[in-house]
Homo-oligomer: A and B are copies of this chain.
């Protein structure tokens, strides 16, 4: 078990183009640059090797998927070893014929593929037809004892679910990384854009507060069709404090040193984990609680 005192987190917020090779090349170049800037745990955005193909339901897009292990994971494993860094790489995973996932692969600094996390919460709404492509992850929540610290990984839509952040934190994550692809429809008014970004940031900062962990959220930027990916990647500290926010409309390579001793300080002074009423949380496993069934739950 590797509990780090500090973690130098690298975040890569980039635009993507239709050519997969080009995106992979840019991602590798950016990882090198982040490493040169001192990053030790480097997180790429969700589905960085392609444009966000889920904007439509198109069978041809299944050809974009990668096997794990496969050529892409081999490439990033080698890169991790060469640079002595941990890499969190999001892939469209082909697990079997007809079984595809939205997955992150985590490479340790020795280049080994430590494991994968398959996105549990799958969205489906106009412009984000992910249920067409991705089977929900069945492997549970994950943390990885990397050379540079114990990190948790969740993916995009997972970020709206306090349960996912809670479980990942209870497993000892020092940081939760969220590779993401979320944007504004071009037709939307600016006030609505702002409201949506704020909700997205606030709930993740809320996870940081609830659990006393760092949150590093890495989003895509750039315009793809009618979608403006909103960038705005950020780092929150273990009391929800906003430590860094990237611009909305430009590519960014950012390195942020996380002082992990802050988790202990916060959790001792605000002992939320101590006082959890685990005996009363059974109903979180309900879809909905019909009042007629019972006046009292928990």
A-to-B contact residues, CB < 8 Å: 1, 115, 120-125, 136, 139-143, 145, 150, 157, 160-164, 166-167, 170-172, 195-196, 198-199, 202-203, 205-207, 209-210, 239-241, 269-273, 275-289, 291-292, 295-298
Whether A136 pairs with B277 at a CB distance below 8 angstroms is yes
Instruction: Please report the C-alpha to C-alpha distance between residue A207 and residue B203 in the assembled complex, in whole angstroms.
Output: 8
Which B residues are in CB contact (< 8 Å) with A167?
Answer: 280-281, 283-284, 289, 297-298
Most buried by B among A207, A279, A283, A287: A283
Instruction: Give 14 new A-B contacts, CB below 8 A, not counting A171-B289, A202-B209, A278-B284.
Output: A1-B292, A121-B277, A123-B271, A140-B298, A150-B291, A157-B275, A160-B209, A170-B284, A170-B286, A170-B289, A202-B202, A203-B210, A273-B287, A284-B284
Instruction: Please report the C-alpha to C-alpha distance between residue A150 and residue B210 in the assembled complex, in whole angstroms.
Output: 26
Whether A171 pairs with B291 at a CB distance below 8 angstroms is yes
Can you sample 26 A-B contacts with CB below 8 Å? A120-B280, A121-B275, A121-B277, A123-B271, A140-B280, A140-B296, A141-B283, A141-B296, A142-B295, A160-B272, A161-B210, A162-B210, A163-B276, A163-B284, A164-B277, A164-B280, A167-B283, A167-B289, A167-B297, A171-B289, A172-B291, A198-B240, A199-B209, A205-B206, A273-B288, A278-B285
CB closest residue in chain B, given A269 = B125
Instruction: Please report the C-alpha to C-alpha distance between residue A121 and residue B280 in the assembled complex, in whole angstroms.
Output: 10
Which B residues are in CB contact (< 8 Å) with A124?
Answer: 275
Instruction: Please report the C-alpha to C-alpha distance between residue A161 and residue B269 in the assembled complex, in whole angstroms.
Output: 16
- Taking a contact as CB atoms closer than 8 A, the residue among B172, B195, B271 that contacts A241 in the complex is B195
**Chain multiplicity (copies):** 2
The minimal Cβ–Cβ distance linking A282 to chain B, given in whole angstroms, is 7
Instruction: Please report the C-alpha to C-alpha distance between residue A172 and residue B170 in the assembled complex, in whole angstroms.
Output: 28
CB closest residue in chain B, given A150 = B291
Which B residues are in CB contact (< 8 Å) with A279?
Answer: 285
- Taking a contact as CB atoms closer than 8 A, the residue among B125, B171, B273 that contacts A297 in the complex is B171
Whether A162 pairs with B171 at a CB distance below 8 angstroms is no
Instruction: Please report the C-alpha to C-alpha distance between residue A163 and residue B278 in the assembled complex, in whole angstroms.
Output: 9
7 smallest CB-CB distances across A and B, nearest first, come from A206-B206, A140-B298, A162-B162, A140-B296, A141-B298, A203-B209, A167-B283
- Taking a contact as CB atoms closer than 8 A, the residue among B278, B289, B292 that contacts A287 in the complex is B278
Whether B240 pairs with A162 at a CB distance below 8 angstroms is no
Which B residues are in CB contact (< 8 Å) with A291?
Answer: 1, 143, 145, 150, 171-172
Instruction: Please report the C-alpha to C-alpha distance between residue A139 and residue B279 in the assembled complex, in whole angstroms.
Output: 11
Whether B161 pairs with A120 at a CB distance below 8 angstroms is no
